[in-house]
A and B are shown apart, each in its own frame.
Chain A
Amino acid sequence: MNPPIFIIIMLTVISGTMIVVTTSHWLLVWIGFEMNLLAIIPILMKKYNPRAMEAATKYFLTQAAASMILMMWIIINLLHSGQWTVLKDLNPMASIMMTTALAMKLGLAPFHFWVPEVTQGISMSSGLILLTWQKIAPLSILYQISSTINPNLILTMSILSVMIGGWGGLNQTQLRKIMAYSSIAHMGWMTAIMMYSPTMMILNLTIYIIMTLTTFMLFMHNSTTTTASLSQTWNKTPLITSLILVLMMSLGGLPPLSGFIPKWMIIQELTKNELIMMPTLLAMTALLNLYFYMRLTYTTALTMFPSNNSMKMKWRFECTKKMTFLPPLVVMSTMLLPLAPMLSILD
């Protein structure tokens, strides 16, 4: 894409999200969402093939429908409360429907169907923006209305999301679809804790964004999009092989890696609020996620995947892709657990 246009479009994506995050007026929230959506469409359509067009169209339709539902209930809330301030308590029905609309934007079950299809149809870097940056704005609004969210609705959606993220990702070999189901599951974890401790949701979001950013960058390094291609990285860039191993285990939530922090904190907060079955279910279904991460680790780092002999002798070239900030990101996605006691500043 033409560089000045690309800069303007990225600027609009960023300012759309910033408007949503920083505003206190419901109309500006809707405007921010629409600006974000409009500007990200050309980024999703970077490659001009029909698959990308279809993915961008699907994304646009679902997000526009969600924005419309949000707008309608913003107006109905205005009708009942007479004011536009975001932080004031919402009408209960408006709260339910706004949560539904924001769940459609996030890709929570049962509105998750667009996530794998859209993520698969677009390029790796667009998928990166889709699964990390686009989650910030809806989660910030959910954070602001978290005191009035209906618990039945949000907990149902969250458990369903973790289950669907787990079971859906099991039969996938395409890396983008795997990351999409991973995103669905992580969103489930985030919304589970939203009602009880929204700060933990922000913690989970931060660590999830760091880990997903790193994962996508490692995939982009060798331009791998399938498991089979990833299994050849031992020959192309052996360092990435070990990094994928550690990163996948961090995504799966294994101690002593960073991915364990949010899961631990969330289970702790949920049990503090006297919910027992819910964190048990969440933890058990997260094992399904761990299984497909482990499968990626196994084929990449622990075995030599079947291939013909010519693929086992490759030239090693220097990477020409600009991997901004990758080493610090890898460190942050794997080694943050010893800093977990710093979370006591939240009390």
Chain B
Amino acid sequence: MMTYIVFILSTVFVVSFVSFSSKPSPIYGGFGLIVAGGIGCGIVLNFGGSFLGLMVFLIYLGGMLVVFGYTTAMATEPYPEAWTSNKAVLAMFITGVLAELLTACYILKEDEVEVVFKFNGAGDWVIYDTGDSGFFSEEAMGIAALYSYGTWLVVVTGWSLLIGVLVIMEVTRGN
């Protein structure tokens, strides 16, 4: 199972995305996001990115999703729409899960199924060998490079975050 762990995590990742894309009330959608965040962390961890995976938990789930949860709690409605309360939401959820299951079967049974072209091998989804990370982990080196050689990228990213806040405030100003 460990060889297929990334594949399994990716499949569940997509299913959790389907769970909030089928548009239930944001509270239930937030639950889907939490699951997706945790699974995303797992996928990143499997590629050796321990720091970034835990960053997902800390900043994304522990910071942004908490704020999202509080704002959703401020805007609750008396009868929130769950996945089973509305036929449209349930239908979309089932469609999404079915599509994902069919894709998963298409990927796993590489030699027997041909849709438009035969699938090319599970490739990066399957870890046969964790590889040699040398003396330094690639991911830590990447983060170090971001803050040394990648100063421009930090400037652009920081500016984009600032603009994100300003844009949201302009959009919700409403007068």
- The chain A residues found within 8 Å of chain B, CB to CB, are 1, 5, 8-9, 12, 15, 19, 28, 31, 34-35, 38-39, 41-42, 45, 48, 56, 79
Contacts and interface: CB of A to CB of B under 8 A. Distances in A.
A83 to B, nearest CB: 15
B164 interface: yes
B170 A31 contact: no
Contacts, number: 42
B156 A5 contact: no
Contact of A42 (B124, B156, B159, B170): B170
Contacts of B153: 28
Contacts of A19: 156
Interface residues of B, number: 15
B160 A35 contact: yes
A8 to B, nearest CB: 6
Report the 8 A-B pairs with minimum CB-CB distance, sorted nearest first. Answer: A42-B170, A12-B163, A35-B160, A38-B167, A42-B167, A39-B163, A42-B171, A31-B156
B170 A1 contact: yes
B33 to A, nearest CB: 17
B175 A9 contact: no
A28 B167 CA distance: 21
B43 to A, nearest CB: 14
A176 B155 CA distance: 37
A5 B174 contact: no
Q: From DSSP, what is the main secondary structure of chain B's interface residues?
A: helix
Contact of A5 (B124, B164, B166): B166
A5 B170 contact: yes
Nearest to A12: B163
6 contacts: A8-B166, A12-B163, A28-B156, A48-B173, A48-B175, A79-B124
Given A12-B159, A28-B156, A35-B156, A45 B171 contact: yes
Contact of A35 (B124, B163, B170, B171): B163
A1 B173 CA distance: 10
Contact of B167 (A31, A41, A48): A41
Interface in B141-175: 153, 156-157, 159-160, 163-164, 166-167, 170-171, 173-175
Nearest to B164: A38
A39 B173 CA distance: 15
Nearest to A6: B170
B63 to A, nearest CB: 20
A38 B156 contact: no
